[in-house]
Structure 1
Amino acid sequence: MHTPASMVMGIVFAPLGLVLVFTAAITPQWREGQTRLGMTGQGSFLRSGMKGRKMGIRSGSAEALLLLRTDGLWESCLQVEHSELKQCWPVAGPYQRDPRVRLAQGLVLTSLFLGGTGIVLACIGVRCWTDLPLRGVAATGGLLVVMAGMLSLTALGVYTHNLRRLGIADPSQGISNPRFPHLSLRPAGSLYFGWLGACLQVLGGSALLFSFKRPRCSTCPSYRDLPVCPACRSCPDITKSDTDVYEVSC
């Protein structure tokens, strides 16, 4: 079977983009911030977690710990740098209730559903086990993949544009939690995975959309009046009645 290059490109890029978007969705590194926290006052809640652990931190340097706070769509984490002390929890509070976060969650979930459905349709449309692909089915799958990529791009755009204001009543005051000091928030690794995956989905789905265009059929070199399609890769069979048979005797 001769599979069009657009189908091959789409069937490779679309699943890869879906995997990257899914990876971004389940990881808690959409934004991150660092701050130094003293062991007295605000840092007292870390003492219980550090008791009984060999952190390798000198008593002099323990007065100012470097904390790394990360937030995702469904999980947040807090980690002490250069140590194994890390705690993660489901998103809660103002961040969870922020309508922009909830919008990003809904768009990403819808994108994953449409992307998976589109890839299934594309695989059925390509039909590697037959000679001719189902072009309409493959192109429909490509349309769903493009829609999934656009939804992911929208979710990522909304989150990135409002990254420093999500779950914060006053952006100048940082995260509105008295237990944490001011954090300087910035984009994290999961956002980049999401952007790359969404772009691959749009690219792969657009390639599958070219499946609507049927290949132009050429003609058989020996029989100009008989059409032949490149997907068949051979001329139509010539019946025996069209040829003359001669008996030769020695």
Structure 2
Amino acid sequence: MHTPASMVMGIVFAPLGLVLVFTAAITPQWREGQARLGMTGPGSYPRSGVKSQGTGLRAGSLEALLLLRSDGLWESCLQVAQSELKHCWPVAGSYQKDPRVRLVQGLVLSSLFLCGTGIVLASIGVRCWTDLPLRGIAATGGLLVVLAGLLSLTALGVYTHNLGKLGMDPRQGNTSPRFPHLSIRPAGSLYFGWLGSCIQVLGGTALLISFKQPRCPACPACPELPACPVCHSCPEISSKPETELYEVSC
């Protein structure tokens, strides 16, 4: 069987986009923030020559430590720069309760479900084990994949637009008592999500294009049918290459 190029493109791009969006959804690098550990004020660490447990650094040098904070949709992490000290935990507090975060979570989960369903329908519609693809089913799968890509793009747009405001008290702005100099910027998972969403839209659009039926010439032996078995014995058609014969009979 000669599978149309649009179907091949769609059936390849749709799973690739799904993998990228899924990777972005489960990783905690949607946004990153950096803050230096403050040593002044109440609750600061003692400035002594005793080494801190497990860090291998003197307490007097803690003021030079840089804390890296990263947040995802379901997990947050805190790491000390240039060290292996890292701790991750499920999102909680004001960040978890933020309605914009909940909206993004719902949109991403809906996108993953729609894209998976669309890929299953597209696989059934392509039907590589037969001669005639089910164009309607393949196009329906492409429509679901396009909707999935649009949902994930919407989720990413909402998150990016409110990147520095998620989980923050409007009265405090982008600062907090624990991290007074926190600077937030987009992280790697966000870029994976953008790339995967665009690939999903491209793959779904390619599957939608396959919905259009090709125009087949009438068979001289059976004018009422666009393609009949007798066509194989017609001199007008049998003299054409085999690939072209399939394209007019599909």
- TM over 0.5, shorter chain: yes
Listed as ranges, the gaps of 5+ residues in structure 2 are: 46-50, 235-250
CA distance in 1, matches of 2:58, 2:101: 40
Q: Which residue of 1 aligns with 2:54?
A: 53
- The aligned residue for residue 169 of structure 1 is 169
1:149 is aligned to 149
1:61 CA displacement:
3.5
Residue aligning to 1:244: none
Q: Which residue of 1 aligns with 2:178?
A: 179
- The 3 A distance-change label for structure 1 pair 42 and 76 is farther
Q: State the shift of 1:224 in Å.
A: 7.8
Match of 2:130 in 1: 130
TM-score (structure 1 length as normaliser): 0.82
| Distance (whole Å) between structure 2 residues aligned to residue 19 and residue 113 of structure 1 | 12
1:145-178 CA distance string (max 9 Å, x none) = 00000000000000000000001013754254x3
User: Partner of 1:215: helix, strand, or coil?
Assistant: coil
Question: Does the 8 A contact of 2:13 with 2:203 survive in 1?
Answer: yes
Conserved 8 A contact 1:38-1:65:
no
Residue deviations 1:71-95, cap 9 Å, x none?
0000000000110100000000010
- CA positional deviation for 1:43: 5.8
Amino acid at match of 2:98: D
Residue pair 1:28, 1:73 contacting (<8 A) in 2 also? yes
Match in the other structure for 1:206 = 205
Question: How much does 1:225 deviate?
Answer: 6.3
Distance 2:102 2:127 in 1: 38
In the alignment, which residue of structure 1 is the partner of 2:231? 236
Give the RMSD, CA atoms, in angstroms.
2.6
Q: What do the CA deviations read for 1:69-125 (whole angstroms, capped 9, x no partner)? A: 000000000000110100000000010000000000000000000000000000000
Listed as ranges, the matches of 1:98-117 within 5 Å are 98-117=98-117
Shift of 1:38: 3.7
Aligned equivalents of 1:196, 1:109: Cα separation in 2: 17
Distance 1:19 1:171, change over 3 A: farther
**Scaled by the length of structure 2, what TM-score is found?**
0.82
Could you list the per-position Cα deviations for residues 31-73 of structure 1 after superposition, in whole angstroms to 9, with x for gaps in the alignment? 00111104575565xxxxx954354x46653332101000000
Range with bigger deviation, 28-37 or 165-174: 165-174
| Residue pair 2:165, 2:173 contacting (<8 A) in 1 also | no
Does residue 1:217 correspond to 2:216, yes or no?
Answer: yes
Which position in structure 1 is the counterpart of 2:66? 66
State the SS of the aligned residue for 1:236: helix
Match of 1:188 in 2: 187
For the residue of structure 2 that corresponds to 1:32, the secondary structure is strand
Name the SS of the counterpart of 1:212 in structure 2.
Answer: coil
Equivalence for 1:82: 82
SS in 1 for 2:185: strand
Query: 1:179 Cα deviation (Å)?
Result: 2.9
Give the count of matched residue pairs: 228
Q: Which has the larger radius of gyration?
A: 1
8 A contact 1:42–1:179 mirrored in 2: no
Q: Which residue of 2 aligns with 1:243?
A: none
Deviation at 1:228, TM superposition (A): 6.6
